[in-house]
């Protein structure tokens, strides 16, 4: 059994060896990628090679990829850059969408975490041509996959544009932007084993995009600022490695680990809730709630046992907050406050699941024993 088990890939995946090598190689380069001399051209080559790799991962043309400082910047650029006056978002979006669109109409989720398509259609019935719809491809907390192609079809019928936050999906499931029919797509490097601090917004043909950051002509005048050459090189290498893993059956192997983990959790605690289990999900994600045992206690106890997992949601201070996603799915406050997220990835092994089960089982037995003792004492 390994010394520690890292099961928080949806927060940030361990960097892949290929990405680390590419990042370190690019750090040795001198020169600005906008310079025309040899040093600048070498930096530019790193960027354009990475652009091709990221584009290939999502089925887009390289010229449509705009590198950013991460998924949050990509989301903010998409929401602000099209000039659409009305924003419509799902209730389960990442905070980088919800906070960037505080006045947006919110489309509710069903109990399975899937967007209410009929409600979306009704919201777009009158002013679709002035609207931008933002719906994530896969939820970061539950792993539930949204019917984005159907969202896009309904939006297009009303003249609306569609943005898709695909940050959690790329590298875990096949993603083809043309097949989804969306106009803008956000992606990020560190969720698939690239470096932190780099992402991209992929812009479909014919979509005009006003830059969020101004002051230079970089990224075809769609994002000003000297490019993060090393980070972008690492992103490209991670994208290539993720595509290779998917082609060789990596997601199926990860899904088998996730399913085994959930089977054993149910055997230990039949009252445990696994959110989104009836809907299509990412192969790597399990959101588990045990009402009465808070997520904060679980995360801390598991950490002490050498197991890293995520909570339903966390703010920048590191404090655990009840999940708005689970509440939007109809979960009670107690259920939402008790949810932990177990997420696997490219380096996960069976022994990681074993360590989680051993630690979580011990925590559960201690908690259940304490509850039984309290009931006995109260009855006496």
Which domain CATH number covers 361? 3.90.1150.10
Give the model confidence (pLDDT) of 284-322 as tens digits: 999 999 999 999 999 999 999 999 999 965 544 455 667
Q: Which two tokens stand for residue 373?
A: 């003792």
Looking at residue 3, its pLDDT comes to 72
Residues of the chain with confidence (pLDDT) below 70: 1-2, 312-321, 371-380
Whether residues 28 and 109 share a domain: the answer is yes
**Residue 39: other Cβ atoms inside 10 A:** 14
Answer whether residue 170 is part of any domain. yes
What is the span of the domain harbouring residue 335? Answer: 5-13+249-371
Answer whether residue 41 is part of any domain. yes
Phi-psi region of 70 (alpha: psi -120 to 50; beta: other; left: phi over 0): left
**Which CATH number belongs to the domain containing residue 92 in this structure?**
3.40.640.10
**Residue 378: other Cβ atoms inside 10 A:** 7
Give the model confidence (pLDDT) of 322-357 as tens digits: 799 999 999 999 999 999 999 999 999 999 999 999
Q: Coil, strand or helix: which one is 177?
A: helix
Q: Are 119 and 107 in contact (CB under 8 A)?
A: yes
Answer whether residue 87 is part of any domain. yes
* Nearest alpha-carbon partner for 345 in 206, 266, 205, 242: 242
Q: Which two tokens stand for residue 372?
A: 């039984």
Whether residues 229 and 121 share a domain: the answer is yes
Euclidean distance between CA atoms 259 and 285, whole angstroms = 10
Q: Which of 246, 279, 296 is the last residue of a domain?
A: 246
Catalytic positions: 315
Answer whether residue 343 is part of any domain. yes
Whether residues 37 and 151 share a domain: the answer is yes
Looking at residue 368, its pLDDT comes to 85
Q: Which two tokens stand for residue 8?
A: 């928080």
Q: Which of 179, 213, 246 is the last residue of a domain?
A: 246
Whether residues 134 and 255 share a domain: the answer is no
Answer whether residue 380 is part of any domain. no
Q: Own/partner pairs for 306-309, CB < 8 Å, 24+ apart?
A: 306/3, 306/4, 306/5, 306/355, 306/359, 307/4, 307/5, 307/7, 307/355, 307/356, 307/359, 307/360, 308/4, 308/5, 308/6, 308/7, 308/8, 309/7, 309/8, 309/340, 309/341, 309/342, 309/343, 309/356
Looking at residue 376, its pLDDT comes to 52
Whether residues 254 and 174 share a domain: the answer is no
What is the pTM assigned to this prediction? 0.93
Euclidean distance between CA atoms 55 and 64, whole angstroms = 8
Whether residues 230 and 364 share a domain: the answer is no
Answer whether residue 235 is part of any domain. yes
Whether residues 206 and 270 share a domain: the answer is no
Q: Please state the domain count of the chain.
A: 2
């Amino acid at each position: 059994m390994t010394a520690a088990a890292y099961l928080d890939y949806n927060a940030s995946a361990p960097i892949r060896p290929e990405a680390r090598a590419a990042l370190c190689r690019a750090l040795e380069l001198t020169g600005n990628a906008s310079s025309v001399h040899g040093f600048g051209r070498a930096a530019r080559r790193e960027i354009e090679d990475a652009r091709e790799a990221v584009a290939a991962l999502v089925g887009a043309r390289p010229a449509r990829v705009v590198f950013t400082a991460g998924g949050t910047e990509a989301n903010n650029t998409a929401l602000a850059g099209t000039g659409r006056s009305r924003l419509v978002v799902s209730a389960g979006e990442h905070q980088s969408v919800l906070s960037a669109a505080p006045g947006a109409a919110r489309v509710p989720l069903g109990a399975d975490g899937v967007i209410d398509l009929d409600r979306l259609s009704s919201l777009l019935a009158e002013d679709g041509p002035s609207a931008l719809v933002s719906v994530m491809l896969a939820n970061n907390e539950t792993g539930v996959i949204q019917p984005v192609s159907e969202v896009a079809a309904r939006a297009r019928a009303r003249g609306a544009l569609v943005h898709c936050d695909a940050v959690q999906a790329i590298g875990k499931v096949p993603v083809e932007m043309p097949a989804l029919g969306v106009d803008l797509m956000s992606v990020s490097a560190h969720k698939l084993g690239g470096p932190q601090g780099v992402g991209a917004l992929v812009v479909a043909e014919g979509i005009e995009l006003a830059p969020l950051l101004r002051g230079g002509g970089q990224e075809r005048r769609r994002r000003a600022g000297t490019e993060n050459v090393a980070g972008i090189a690492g992103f490209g290498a991670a994208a290539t490695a993720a595509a290779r893993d998917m082609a060789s059956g990596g997601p199926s192997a990860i899904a088998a680990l996730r399913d085994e983990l959930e089977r054993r959790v149910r055997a230990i605690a039949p009252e445990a809730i696994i959110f989104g289990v009836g809907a299509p999900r990412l192969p790597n994600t399990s959101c588990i709630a045990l009402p009465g045992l808070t997520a904060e206690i679980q995360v801390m106890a598991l950490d002490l046992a050498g197991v890293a997992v995520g909570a339903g949601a966390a703010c920048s201070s590191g404090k655990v907050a009840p999940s708005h996603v689970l509440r939007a799915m109809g979960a009670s406050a107690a259920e939402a406050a008790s949810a932990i997220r177990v997420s696997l990835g490219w380096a996960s092994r069976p022994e990681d699941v074993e360590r989680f089960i051993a630690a979580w089982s011990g925590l559960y037995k201690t908690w259940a024993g304490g509850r039984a003792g309290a009931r006995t004492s109260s009855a006496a």
